[in-house]
Amino acid sequence: MTVKKIDVLAYDGCIGMEVFGLCDTLLLANRIAAAMRGAAAEPLFEVRVTSVARGTILAAGGVGIGTQKLRSSQNLLVIPGMDISDRDGCTRPHEKLAGEVKAIAQAHARGAPVASMCVGAFLLAEAGLLDGRRATTSWMFAADLARRFPLARVDVAAMVVEDDGVITTGSFTATFDLAVRLIRQAATPKEARAVERTALLNLRASQAAYIDTGMTAAPSGRFSDNVHRWLSANQSKPYDLSLLSAAFHVSARTMLRRLKVETGQTPLQYLQGERINMAKRLLESGTLSLAQITERVGYLDVATFSTLFKRLTGQSPAQYRRSFNVHAIDADRKLTHL
């Protein structure tokens, strides 16, 4: 097998875990493959931590990371995300990272595959790599990515997306999903399974179950703010686009266009998200039956609601309750002490 060469592009303010998490997981894969093939076998991966200028960069939190100078190559170039303490700092143009954005664009232009982790997708987008491509990022920032870069087809739920040589991943620990994907591509199935079992890893299909719209940034447009408040106030009522449009004295076409421009969503998509978010809270903390929750969030048919819930979260309501309900978690905790 050909050794897969990877350059991780570190920079001041990047997330150290994403750099080391990927590097160490691929190192573990090398060690396990060597044990299974024999020490003389070539490693699966050659990974370098690089930077535009070389030397020590300061990751988020002030952790120093030694780097090699990034050079022109056909290696896979992986971009970690940045500190999210300043939300605007993640989503506005990254003038201080202009050198990194240029390096990403140049790597792609010479045919190198490129990947990002979490909000590193914004740097790929600024380099023009996401135009016309399907992509993902942290669910908390997916709407921001879609608004800033409308030519990107942002999938808020996806954990890992690959589109014509450009890979993007979901939130934070999706770093390990990227690592698993790379290991499955480079190793034999037996070796890949051994790594996943040793590291307690698996390739997850979706980050949808973790989405909480209450934690995402509110839309910045005044019109969409008012429309969303109206939809939330009428959440339990049947959705009616003509009634909504009349409430704001615009045509249905204008309503759809303005909401799409300001939020990247249709009114129905927003309403469905709010209903599912409310259902999540009820499933997490309450003991209401599924029929009661269905009615409370504005649906008449349990089957219809369950289908929508699974489509938007990747889990059935019952699966979600088992995973996130505080009473179920407490029960599991008590069982471990018996």
Q: Are residues 286 and 170 in the same domain?
A: no
Of 179, 194, 210, the domain-final residue: 210
Q: Are residues 234 and 114 in the same domain?
A: no
pLDDT bracket for residue 334 (50, 70, 90): very low
In a domain, 120, yes or no: yes
Q: Are residues 143 and 226 in the same domain?
A: no
What distances in angstroms separate CA 102 from CA 20, 67, 76, one per listed residue?
24, 18, 16
In a domain, 336, yes or no: no
Measured between alpha carbons, how far is 190 from 36 in angstroms, rounded to an integer? 9
Tell me if the pTM is above 0.75: yes
Measured between alpha carbons, how far is 31 from 115 in angstroms, rounded to an integer? 24
Q: Are residues 171 and 227 in the same domain?
A: no
Measured between alpha carbons, how far is 295 from 302 in angstroms, rounded to an integer? 8
DSSP, residue by residue, 107-176? HHHTT--EEE-GGGHHHHHHTTTTTTSEE---TTTHHHHHHH-TTSEE-SSBSEEEETTEEEE-STTHHH
Whether the per-residue pLDDT at 212 is higher than 90: the answer is: no
At residue 335, the pLDDT reads 38
Count up the domains in the chain and report the number.
2
Of 210, 228, 244, the domain-final residue: 210
Tell me the one-letter amino acid at 9: L
In a domain, 338, yes or no: no
Higher-scoring residue by pLDDT: 85, 176: 176
End-to-end CA distance of the chain: 49
Q: Are residues 175 and 273 in the same domain?
A: no
pLDDT bracket for residue 262 (50, 70, 90): confident
Q: Are residues 20 and 155 in the same domain?
A: yes
Whether the per-residue pLDDT at 271 is higher than 70: the answer is: yes
Q: Residue 271 is part of a domain; what is its CATH number?
A: 1.10.10.60
Q: Are residues 147 and 260 in the same domain?
A: no
Q: Are residues 226 and 200 in the same domain?
A: no
The tens digit of pLDDT for each residue in 283-299 reads 998 789 999 999 999 99
At residue 70, the pLDDT reads 97
In a domain, 235, yes or no: yes
Of 185, 210, 235, the domain-final residue: 210
pLDDT bracket for residue 155 (50, 70, 90): very high
Q: Are residues 39 and 14 in the same domain?
A: yes
The tens digit of pLDDT for each residue in 23-40 reads 999 999 999 999 999 878
At residue 217, the pLDDT reads 63
CB 165 within 8 A of CB 156: no
What's the domain range around 304? 218-329
Weakest mean pLDDT among 180-189, 238-247, 254-263: 254-263
Handedness of CA 183, 187, 193, 195 (dihedral sign): negative
Whether the per-residue pLDDT at 219 is higher than 70: the answer is: no
In a domain, 32, yes or no: yes
At residue 272, the pLDDT reads 92
At residue 90, the pLDDT reads 79
The tens digit of pLDDT for each residue in 308-330 reads 999 888 889 999 998 888 665 44
Measured between alpha carbons, how far is 23 from 47 in angstroms, rounded to an integer? 7
Angle of helix 16-37 versus helix 189-199 axis, rounded to 10: 130
At residue 327, the pLDDT reads 60
Q: Are residues 244 and 313 in the same domain?
A: yes
Higher-scoring residue by pLDDT: 220, 181: 181
CB 139 within 8 A of CB 211: yes
Whether the per-residue pLDDT at 302 is higher than 70: the answer is: yes
CB 32 within 8 A of CB 191: yes
CB 119 within 8 A of CB 90: yes
Q: Are residues 10 and 152 in the same domain?
A: yes
The tens digit of pLDDT for each residue in 51-71 reads 999 999 999 999 999 999 999
Q: Residue 125 is part of a domain; what is its CATH number?
A: 3.40.50.880
| Residue closest to 268 by CA, chosen among 278, 281, 258, 259 | 259
- Residues 26, 32, 179: CA angle, nearest 5 degrees: 25
Higher-scoring residue by pLDDT: 25, 41: 25
Q: Are residues 171 and 228 in the same domain?
A: no
CB atoms within 10 A of CB 75: 20
